Amino acid sequence: MSTRGVFFGWWVALSFGVMAFLASGIRFAVGPFLKPMVADLGLDRASFSLVIAVCILLFGALQPFVGRLVDVVGARPVLVGGALLLGASLVATGLSTRLWHLYVFNALGAGLGLAATGQVVGAAVISRWFTRRRATALSLVGSAGMAGVTLMVPVAMWGVLTIGWRETYVVFGIAVVALIVPLSLWLVRESPEAMGLTPDGLPPAAVTGEVVVERTALTDALQTIPFWQLAGGLFCCGFSMSLLSAHGVPMLTDHGYHPMLASWALGLLGGSSIGFAFVLGMLSDRFGRRPVLAWVYGMRALIFVGLLLVRDQPVLLLLIAVAGGASMSGSLAAASALSAEIFGRLSVGSIYGTMFLFHQTGSALGSWLSGALFESTGGYGAAFGLASALLVGASLLSATISERQRPLVRLAAVAGGE
């Protein structure tokens, strides 16, 4: 196949960007549904929140399994199956009349579907298509995911106010199937070798009729220090992001800021991270993944301190939010790119998927522990201080990662295989 024009890997990355926009947006657009669902179904907020918590934990717990499945059977079957399950679960959520319906459809079904269409699948496939531009391509997906988080919340609110929460869930379910299934079948390919291409579309080196690929077993990766350094950083990342998403606005309003200003600050932080994610990806490709990852975590620690301390200064708060966009993005892209370079580009599914479980564990702990610390101390100082300390530790862990590849199992694959 000709490599002239746009390298096909960018179309693969773009398709995953669309999926990330939709899946990430739906996963985080929970707030607009809370009050109408609680009122309509006769629930309390604690019961509804527990459904969401189960979905988040299931999403994280399934990542190692999903990543391994991608490595074994390929991404397209996983994506198509996940999209169909996610779409059906969202439609069924719109038809729910009991709490146990929500556990089956919104927690179990949606959790499984989101796991099969989430970041790990995209990271596994894109890491095979790119080497030199890997972080840039992964950052494209990260930017799309942040855009989904930023834009899908108002879309969900508009839908709830205009057509109702049930109908909005049905529309979301149909949109998932209508977009993800065609993209998975038409644009997603497992590797450049499957199309007779090379990573990044570079001119092929002298070959002998076969393409050498690299893979590391998960059991071998678990015995290396870089795995735990990356996983530890992702744990701290998840803790801090969950703290900010769940308690950022309440903390700012406790400090005297108007609720709309607090919401705008967090929205501005998320919006500015969209552009910064792509820039950080290009810097990572140019200067290396390790320094960018260390900088992102270190900068985020400072931003958390700034958000905690700024009082009665709306302009300064918004400036901190804009600067925070440079630290809220790039960590997942850099971590998955490093995983591919250390452990081999065909091992990202299983290895990075396991690392992502640590991210979601940190996320669950960050949301719960921050609330518990608030109740015991009467403020968010302890929670934000702990998050900043963890992020400093993540920065140090990242700065000391050895990027030298581990001993790899080398396998031969015939070029052009699907």
pLDDT per residue over 352-389, tens digit each?
889 988 988 888 788 778 888 888 888 889 999 999 99
Residue 109 to residue 101: CA distance in whole angstroms: 10
Across the chain, what does the average pLDDT equal?
84
Q: What is the pTM of this model?
A: 0.77
pLDDT for residue 356 = 87
Q: Which of 70, 55, 27, 82 is nearest to 352 (CA)?
A: 70
**Given the structure tokens 């450049």, which residue do they identify?**
192
- Residues 391/304, Cβ–Cβ less than 8 Å: yes
Q: Helix crossing, 381-399 with 225-254: angle to 10°?
A: 150
pLDDT per residue over 113-151, tens digit each?
999 998 889 888 998 898 888 888 888 888 888 788 778
Confidence category of residue 265, pLDDT binned at 50, 70, 90: confident
- The answer to whether residue 410 scores a pLDDT higher than 80 is no
Q: What is the mean pLDDT of residues 214-237?
A: 90
Sign of CA dihedral 95, 97, 99, 101: negative
For 141-176, letters b (16+ CB in 10 Å) and e give bbbbbbbbbbbbbebbeebbeeeebbebbbbbbeeb
Q: What is the set of domains in the chain, with CATH numbers?
A: 8-194 (1.20.1250.20), 215-409 (1.20.1250.20)
Confidence category of residue 208, pLDDT binned at 50, 70, 90: very low
DSSP string, 25-79: HHHHTTHHHHHHHHHHHT--HHHHHHHHHHHHHHHHHTHHHHHHHHHHH-HHHHH
